[in-house]
Amino acid sequence: MGMAAPESLLICEHCDTVYQRRPLVRGEVARCARCMAELERHQGLSVNAMLALVLTAMIVFVQANMWPIVTLGLNGQFSGTTLWGMIITMWQQQAQVVSVLAAFTLFFFPLVKMLTLGWLLWFGRQGRRAPGFVPLMVALHRLGPWTMSEVFVLGALVAIVKAHNYFDVVADPGIYAYAALTLLITIFAGVDLRQLWDHTAERPA
């Protein structure tokens, strides 16, 4: 075992147990025998499929941010908002911390994540490493759990139900765009982006 090449070994991130890597069949998940954590799963999406998903997510993301999310009505008056309307209102209402949290977790981080992925995959489909591949891969890893669009969708649902007791509520296109975005994020949740290290040759584009 001591002679094995590093790429052929897999170390459990949760307990440091070392395994010999083996190819997985469709739908298979390799689990650590010591701590039961997931070691690796079969990656069913090709680079092209991932790129298509990222491009779709970008389009949906633009719509989710431009279109109003919900409109409330009260005695003939109407009031709606977009994501940025919400971020700006929170800033004006002395809740700058919340405003900044929302701006980063719902706008900047998801945006950076999609643009970075799109860039890496665009070159990746030709088996090449994009300019800035290494720092961008590190940045993607650091972004980790700090994108929260799917939490926001559930929050919007709760807000709608709460408002429904006092106002007429009209769901606007933005909320559907967000729902679609959540679906895409869920599909992506099973994708291990680290496979891009193996997919691409070790030479700059």
Partner 1 sequence: MNSLPRAAELGLISCHTCGLTCRDTGGDDMACPRCGSALHRRKPDSYMRAWALLIAGFLLYIPANVLPIMRTASLNDIDDNTIISGVVELWVKGSPDLAVIVFTASIVVPMLKFLSLSVLLVTSQRGSGWARVQRAKIYRLVEFIGYWSMLDVFVVALLTALVRFGLLSLVEPLPGVIFFGLTVVLTMLASMSFDPRLIWDGRDTDD
Residues near partner 1 (CB under 8 A) are 1-2, 6-7, 9-11, 13-18, 33-37, 69-72, 74-75, 77, 79-81, 85-87, 89-90, 93-95, 97-99, 101-102, 105-106, 134, 137-138, 141, 144-146, 148, 151-152, 154-159, 161-163, 165-167, 194, 197
Query: For residue 27, is it left (φ>0), alpha (ψ between -120 and 50) or beta?
Result: left
Q: Which two tokens stand for residue 31?
A: 């689990």
Q: Are 70 and 80 in contact (CB under 8 A)?
A: yes
Beta carbon nearer to partner 1, 59 or 146: 146
Phi, psi of 77, deg, nearest 5? -90, 145
* CB closer to partner 1 out of 157 and 187: 157
Q: Which is nearer to partner 1, 55 or 171 (CB)?
A: 171
CB of 113 to partner 1, least distance (A): 14
CB of 26 to partner 1, least distance (A): 22
Q: What are the C-alpha distances in Å from 143 to residues 43, 93, 105, 109, 201?
A: 21, 28, 10, 7, 24
